[in-house]
């Protein structure tokens, strides 16, 4: 018996220690990015300053001058916010209809919506460039980026909302109907207050996906509507000279989203597995 309790005592220390080590290893690259951002470009590549150096904020204060950071950041904020908003405006009524008045085809429609998400973007790269540049004339506009971000996330938005709305008892909505509340009233006064948490986490997650999107935002913009993904991709090869400032601008690009992500990690599971894993 003594050995059993001893080994479990050892296990009580060993397993958590191992868990901590693994977590720190996974977090290390992010830590290193932030750490490097406080070094000067010269110090960042010198082994003697690997861990001990004089920290500086210059990389952050010069970010506007070096990279025009704020222009890209503002574009990211504008496009991600409006795309999220529009996706919700289109998605909430659709998910409401599917959750509370399902027809024979609802399941098929949901499946089909999901399948649009699986189309490889690269397959329609040239047609999209051609359409937006030569025919519609909306290439490199905020409108185009918002539209595309909204469309590529719409299936996930509808799916997530649908999973949340399904949890609401139908009777509550029916009771509203008995009282003669209009459909708009049902959505506004009954559904939205009840599903507020679900709608908020859907919005948060959509915002994160929009912010991190790197295919369409890079391919369909040049200057005017370019987002942070374009900025970073444009500086992909700093030739080792600018590690410090590159680390700073990268930190500024990911920090808000990583922190936002911490708050919605639970919803991520439901959102990305379409409610199939509980």
Partner 1 sequence: MSNRTLPRILQTPAVILLLIWMLVPLSMTLYFSFIRYVLNSSIRPEWMTPSLSNWRGFGNYKYVLDAKDFWFAIQNSVFIVTSILVITVVLGLGIAVLINKSFPGRGIVRVLLISPFFVMPAVNAVLWINMILDPVLGLQGIAVGGINNIIDGLRDFPVLGAFFNLWPTFEPISFRATQTSAYAVIMMVAWQWTPFAVLIFMTSLQSEDESQKEAATLDGASPWSQFINLTVPHLARPIAIVVMIQSIFHLSLYAEIEIVSRGSGNKNLPYLIGEFTNNNIGAASATGIFAVILANIIAIFLLRMVGKSLMD
By CB under 8 A, the residues from 60 to 79 that bind partner 1 are none
- In angstroms, the CA 201 to CA 271 distance is 9
Pick out residues in 146-165 that bind partner 1 (CB under 8 A): 151, 154-155, 158
Minimum CB separation from partner 1 for residue 117, in Å?
8
Asked if 247 and 44 touch (Cβ cutoff 8 Å), the reply is yes
Stretch that binds partner 1, among 26-34, 53-61, 138-146, 194-202 (CB under 8 A): 26-34
Among 6, 7, 10, 18, binds partner 1 (CB under 8 A): 18
* 168 sits near partner 1 (criterion: CB under 8 A): no
- In angstroms, the CA 269 to CA 276 distance is 9
DSSP 226: -
Going by C-beta distance under 8 Å and a sequence separation of 6 or more, which residues neighbour residue 71? none
Q: Which is nearer to partner 1, 125 or 194 (CB)?
A: 125
Pick out residues in 178-217 that bind partner 1 (CB under 8 A): 183, 208, 211-212, 214-215
SS (HEC) of 172-207:
HHHHHHHCCCCHHHHHHHHHHHHCHHHHHHHHHHHH
* 107 sits near partner 1 (criterion: CB under 8 A): yes
Stretch that binds partner 1, among 53-61, 168-176, 194-202, 248-256 (CB under 8 A): 248-256
Asked if 203 and 264 touch (Cβ cutoff 8 Å), the reply is no
* 247 sits near partner 1 (criterion: CB under 8 A): yes
């Amino acid at each position: 018996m003594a050995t059993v309790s001893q080994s479990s005592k050892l296990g009580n220390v060993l397993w958590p220690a191992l868990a901590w080590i693994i977590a720190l290893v996974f977090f290390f690259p992010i830590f290193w990015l932030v750490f490097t951002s406080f070094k000067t470009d010269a110090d960042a590549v010198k082994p003697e300053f690997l861990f001990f150096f004089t920290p500086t904020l210059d990389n952050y204060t010069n970010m506007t001058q070096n990279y025009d950071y704020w222009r890209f950041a503002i574009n990211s904020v504008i496009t991600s916010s409006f795309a999220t908003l529009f996706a919700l405006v289109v998605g909430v009524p659709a998910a409401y209809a599917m959750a509370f008045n399902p027809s024979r085809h609802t399941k098929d429609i949901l499946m089909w919506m999901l399948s649009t998400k699986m189309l490889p973007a690269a397959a329609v790269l040239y047609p999209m460039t051609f359409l937006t540049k030569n025919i519609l004339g909306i290439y490199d506009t905020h409108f185009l980026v918002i539209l595309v971000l909204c469309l590529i996330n719409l299936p996930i938005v509808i799916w997530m909302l649908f999973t949340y709305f399904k949890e609401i008892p139908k009777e509550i909505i029916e009771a509203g109907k008995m009282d003669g509340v209009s459909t708009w009233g049902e959505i506004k006064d009954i559904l939205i207050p009840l599903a507020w948490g679900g709608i908020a986490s859907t919005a948060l997650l959509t915002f994160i996906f929009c912010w991190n999107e790197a295919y369409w935002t890079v391919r369909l913009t040049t200057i005017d509507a370019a987002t942070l993904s374009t900025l970073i991709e444009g500086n992909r090869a700093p030739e080792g000279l600018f590690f410090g400032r590159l680390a700073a601008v990268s930190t500024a690009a990911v920090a808000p989203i990583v922190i936002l992500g911490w708050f919605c990690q639970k919803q991520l599971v439901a959102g990305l597995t379409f409610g199939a894993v509980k």
